[in-house]
Structure 1
Amino acid sequence: METDKYKNLRYRLMETNSWPLKYMFKFITPNEDGKVEQIKILLPANGKLSFKHTENLKHVSITCVAWMESADQIVEITEKVDGIDGVIVL
């Protein structure tokens, strides 16, 4: 179920004609209730993960760089992570 907020992302990704491509997912999440683990589960297993905490440790920035096969894959992962309460998609 694609929402309007991802139509632009899908369009930009589909303009790329060199698949697979290396894509960087970036999210910010509250550092609570296992949210980091919830996000990690949804990200590609072959991705390179990095984390950065805010100074007060209340939030975590999660970056994942992975080879992706299609725009659909990227949008699907982004939508699932965006469904987690409190997560900001960058």
Structure 2
Amino acid sequence: MEETNSEEFYDKLKEQLEATSSWPSNYLYKFIVLSDQNKINRIHKIFDNMGAVIESKKSKNGKYTSVSITVNLENPDEVIAKYKEVGAIEGVISL
């Protein structure tokens, strides 16, 4: 993804989050990643010690794993910061 497009995406996401949620609020992240335990562990580590509820589910053939994370965050900036941290892991798709 081109840097400018991702900044536009995050700006738009922040506007939507401010308009649709009162903060602090629970936020649900959904990621798809190849079933690589190292990458899954890295996603888990980003949400360590935050009281996050994390559910992982392998695809039917086991090639991919979906990771759903529900966590209480203070504001839209925290939501975006976590997306950027997870986005730094190669091959993770944010839904």
**Length-normalised TM-score, structure 1:** 0.88
- Cα RMSD between the aligned structures? 1.6
Q: Hey, what's the Cα distance between the residues in 2 that align with 1:17 and 1:68? A: 11
Identical positions, percent: 28
Q: Hey, what's the Cα distance between the residues in 2 that align with 1:41 and 1:17? A: 26
Q: Deviations over 1:36-84 (max 9, x none)?
A: 0011111252111111101121111000111111100000001111121
Q: Which residue of 1 aligns with 2:80?
A: 75
Higher helix share: 2
List, as ranges, runs of 4+ consecutive aligned residues in structure 1 with deviation greater than 3 Å. Answer: none
Q: Which secondary structure state, in structure 1, belongs to the residue aligned with residue 51 of structure 2?
A: coil
Q: Hey, what's the Cα distance between the residues in 1 that align with 2:41 and 2:14? A: 26
Confirm whether residue 18 of structure 1 aligns to residue 22 of structure 2.
yes
Q: Hey, what's the Cα distance between the residues in 2 that align with 1:37 and 1:74? A: 19
TM-superposed deviation, 1:17: 5.5
Alignment of 1:1-90 (within 5 A): 3-16=7-20, 18-32=22-36, 34-43=38-47, 45-90=50-95
| Structure 1: segments with no counterpart, 5+ residues | none
Change (3 A) 1:62 1:33: closer
